[in-house]
Amino acid sequence: MNKETNRHDIEIFINKEKYNVSVRASTHLADTIRDHCSLTGTHLGCEHGVCGACTVLVDNSPVRGCLYLAVQADGKTVETVEGIAENGELSDIQKSFWENHGLQCGFCTPGFLILTKWLLDNFNKITEETIKDVLSSNICRCTGYQNIIKSVKQVAEERGQWSE
Ligand code: FES
Ligand code: FES
């Protein structure tokens, strides 16, 4: 820690890019991503760990960006919604949410997209129960969830991971 500024210099690898930032010990990761790294795709809703809008992956595990401290991410890899697109094009996950109306206002969507990516990357066989179990950590105030489940199911089918 720099005693003069009361800040910590940390290095984070977000979506494969290196960011060197100076943060207070109390600064959470979502604020750091948005305010210090200009990646505003990660949203902040409740800011106390309930809604999941701020979900990002740290070393390939989903975390609440509003509870996880930036200093905890020092030297680690972070993946945000900006990292889901492929070469500037929508990924199959994003396309499926678009086609199945898996979003309305879109406020919760970054968290759902990141969780869906994690789900698809980590489960070989995906059932409707798996989707409900994993995505139940996040809240959507608009869609009623059915179209989100349909969106995830379509990608799982396309990738050969769907299991009845
Ligand atoms: S903003 Fe982090 S859980 Fe709601
Ligand atoms: S699409 Fe509006 S909160 Fe989910």
Question: pLDDT by residue (tens digit) across 109-134?
Answer: 999 999 999 999 999 999 999 999 99
Provide the pLDDT for residue 164. Answer: 81
Q: In what order do the strands lie in the sheet with 61-64?
A: 17-23, 8-14, 77-79, 55-58, 61-64
Q: Does domain 92-158 have CATH number 3.40.710.10?
A: no
Of 42, 41, 62, nearest to 119 by C-alpha is 62
- In the predicted model, what is the mean pLDDT of the chain? 96
Query: Which residues in the chain are classed under CATH 1.10.150.120?
Result: 92-158
Q: Token match 């969830």: residue?
A: 145
First to last CA, the chain: 52
Cα of 108 to ligand 2 centre, how many Å?
Answer: 5
Provide the pLDDT for residue 5. Answer: 79
Provide the pLDDT for residue 109. Answer: 98
Give 153's pLDDT tier (boundaries 50, 70, 90): very high
Cα of 75 to ligand 2 centre, how many Å?
Answer: 32
Ligand with smallest separation from the Cα of 139: 2
Q: Which ligand 2 atom sits nearest the alpha carbon of residue 112?
A: 4
Instruction: Kindly state if the Cβ of 144 falls inside 6 Å of ligand 2.
Output: no
Give 141's pLDDT tier (boundaries 50, 70, 90): very high
Give the domain 8-83 fold: Ubiquitin-like (UB roll) (3.10.20)
pLDDT digits (tens, 9 = 90+) for 27-37: 999 999 999 99
Query: Which residues in the chain are classed under CATH 3.10.20.30?
Result: 8-83
Cα of 30 to ligand 1 centre, how many Å?
Answer: 9
Q: Which residues contact 139 (CB under 8 A, 6 or more apart)?
A: 45, 50, 51, 52, 53, 108
pLDDT digits (tens, 9 = 90+) for 2-44: 777 789 999 999 999 999 999 999 999 999 999 999 999 999 9
Give the Cβ contact number of residue 136 at 10 Å: 11
Give the Cβ contact number of residue 145 at 10 Å: 17
Residue ID of nearest Cα to ligand 2 atom 2: 105
**Residue 33 near residue 14 (C-beta atoms within 8 A):** yes
Cα of 109 to ligand 1 centre, how many Å?
Answer: 12
Ligand with smallest separation from the Cα of 112: 2
Give 103's pLDDT tier (boundaries 50, 70, 90): very high
pLDDT digits (tens, 9 = 90+) for 65-97: 999 999 999 999 999 999 999 888 999 999 999
